[in-house]
Structure 1
Amino acid sequence: MNRRLLAALLALLLAAAGGGLVLVYAKNADQRALAGAQLAGVWVAQKLVPAGTTLKAAEEQGLLTHTKVSAEAVPAGALEEINAGNRELLALSDVQPGEYVLAARFGTTPPAEKAIEVPAGKLAVSVQLSDPARVGTFVTPGSHIAIYTSYKIKALGDDARSKKINDNDIKGTSVLLDDVLVIGVGTSALAAPAKTDGAAAPAANSTGVLVTVAVPPGDAAKLIHGVANYTLYAALRGSGVKIDPNQQANDLNLFPGTLP
């Protein structure tokens, strides 16, 4: 075996050893990162969980799996455990594979018995949102969202600054409602609507999808006013997130000095 062949074999061995060391390092880095993070247990749909399936059956049939993720990544309202107190609860609508399982997706009302499940003391209000404004397909019945509103700023007064603001197209965005429970998206609700004569569900409006939320009466007035007069946008809440209800962004504080 000549020197050139030996050198080539040695180079291959060194490359393989180096690649192995990189993989070991990366694996150890992942383990160190997980060890340093605060983890929380969550349930995830492994397969489709049809409406009407009990939590007990979903677990026994392997439709759900329990895993640990960073506590910061756990969505608000996530199902924490399956126990004697909730294992007989029914899936109120289909839970799609890959979804985090939310506690609000299970209840005692069988599907098709009610058109929608509105929590006691609250009102159901529907908002039409585009796909981006409802966080794509990730907002589902049982999710908690924050709702923001965008509007044109008008200044009251006849001074020079107020006139400049009113003469220019100054826009602002504020928090309208910081924590809202979603009870329906399109035709999918916490309790699915009854089927009639095998007819297909109506198609979603091409300009957006209806998101139905449950809010206290006072917040219902705010939301309806926002629907009627402003542009609304939703954000999906994670666990432990804190939102300043007085938070506002506008052209003047985002781009200081732009007003003539």
Structure 2
Amino acid sequence: MSIDLQFGLAPLILLLILLGLSSLRILREYERGVIFMLGRFWKVKGPGLVIVLPGVQQMVKVDLRVVTMDVPSQDVISRDNVSVKVNAIVFFRVVDPQKAIIQVENYLVATSQLAQTTLRAVLGKHELDEMLAERERLNLDVQQILDAQTDSWGIKVTNVEIKHIDLNDSMVRAIARQAEAERERRAKVIHAEGEKQAARSLLDAADMLARQPAAMQLRYLQTLTQVAGDKSSTLVFPVPVDLLGSLLAGARSPAPGDADPGGGKA
């Protein structure tokens, strides 16, 4: 009788052992298990060893690591009616496993679709120059909008980076012409500013030389030295205009002993 009892308990013990082994789950440090008891949420367990009763409880694993999601290229029309293709990267992670499983069917797909829509909506409010020059501010705007909308899903969007803004060939040529015209404008402005400064310096130098005639003579002699040092058969001898004017005035004035033009002496 005892032998029959032992043979009857052996399958039961074996069944309990198999049931106990099948109820054991091991979760890694970055994983959490959302436990459902008879279809209703019970608790979040992990990491480590977790017991899940077969047939009574079900567990859904959730990864808490940062997810890097590539947003496919999106056709965006800017505020100044320029068509561009933009793609980006979204970095996010699950902070509340319960919400991530219960509030949304598939949080990965939902976040991807929301990121695509938000990217088109945000960039469509800006002009092309703002997209190219203020990319950091646009990244922050998209990240804040995504983070606010995914908060009810238990998801934290940590960063958004716009990777590429692709333009068609005609727009690239137009931007190149615009950049070339802008550089020519800057060159002309710089040249005009240089001429203005040079004219101001010449005016100051002329005023200074006019106050001291001896300084003009020194400059005159320095010019002769520079011309004479040049090995050339032709010698250019500069004569100041003021000197010629004084010589001509002296030649035209009558000498003290000359006769009066009216004839006779005074």
| Superposition TM-score tier, normalisation by shorter sequence | under 0.3
**TM-score (normalizing by structure 2):** 0.21
More helix by share: 2
- Choose between structure 1 and 2 for higher RCO, CA contacts under 8 A separated by at least 6 residues: 1
**TM-score (normalizing by structure 1):** 0.21
Q: Which has the larger radius of gyration?
A: 2
